[in-house]
Amino acid sequence: MTEDTTLTRTEDEKARPLTKARRLLWMLPVLVFSVLAGFMLWGLDPNRDPSKIPSVLINKPVPEFDLAAVRGRELGLSTADLTGEVSLVNVFASWCTACRAEHPLLMQMKEAGVVPIHGLNYKDKPEDAAEWLDTLGDPYTRTGSDIDGRVGIEWGVYGVPETFVIDREGRIAFKQIGAVTPRILKETIIPIIEELRKP
């Protein structure tokens, strides 16, 4: 009887570590699912705006660059062109669907004289960029042709379109990722421009 009890206890003791390991294996998928669910809920948060990704360049001078104009335009774009007045730099490309969606608004802004808008043409073929502006209209005071995308990298461009608000001293005051919409313009960009224009 004692021997049987001893044998049973020994078998139980051997089985315990295995049971703990099995429990951990069963808990691992639950833990992974919980982490993934947390990320998904964070991503679906209606109060979180994915276009407001922080930029390390906010309140810093625009990067040093000097680009030739888009084909058919006379004025290129450089660091020196972005001082002296509040302006926008809009990163665009002819192959960008969202750029086409925001383009009419940029044209309206130009016609209304809201703010000087400069275009940074990102990784585009020169002939395609020229045709785009000739067909849809050119809302830009100056354009820079960033064919290889190096200047875009310096600006921290994630994709197109992106729009930067530049202050009088040539510092980046705001970065909009994605198309500018009437609501973003009214509620965010215009108030920033007005604040930057104050003496």
Token match 């062109």: residue?
81
Mean pLDDT of 108-133: 97
**Res 47: pLDDT:** 45
Q: CATH classification of 66-197 is 3.40.30.10, yes or no?
A: yes
pLDDT in tens, 26-61: 666 666 665 555 544 444 444 444 444 556 789 999
pLDDT in tens, 92-107: 999 999 999 999 999 9
**Res 189: pLDDT:** 97
pLDDT at residue 182 is higher than 80: yes
Residues 190 and 113 sit within 8 Å (Cβ to Cβ): no
**Res 160: pLDDT:** 96
48-81: string of b/e by CB count within 10 Å (b at 16+)? eeeeeeebebeeeebeebebbbbbebeeebbeeb
pLDDT in tens, 145-157: 999 999 999 999 9
pLDDT at residue 12 is higher than 70: no
pLDDT at residue 4 is higher than 90: no
- If we measure between CA atoms, which residue out of 141, 123, 144, 124 comes closest to residue 68? 144
**Cα Rg of the chain, angstroms:** 28
β-pair type (77-78, 66-67): antiparallel
Region class of 178: left (phi > 0), else alpha (psi between -120 and 50), else beta: left
How is the chain split into domains, by residue range?
Answer: 1-48, 66-197
Token match 């585009």: residue?
124
| Average pLDDT of the chain to the nearest whole number | 85
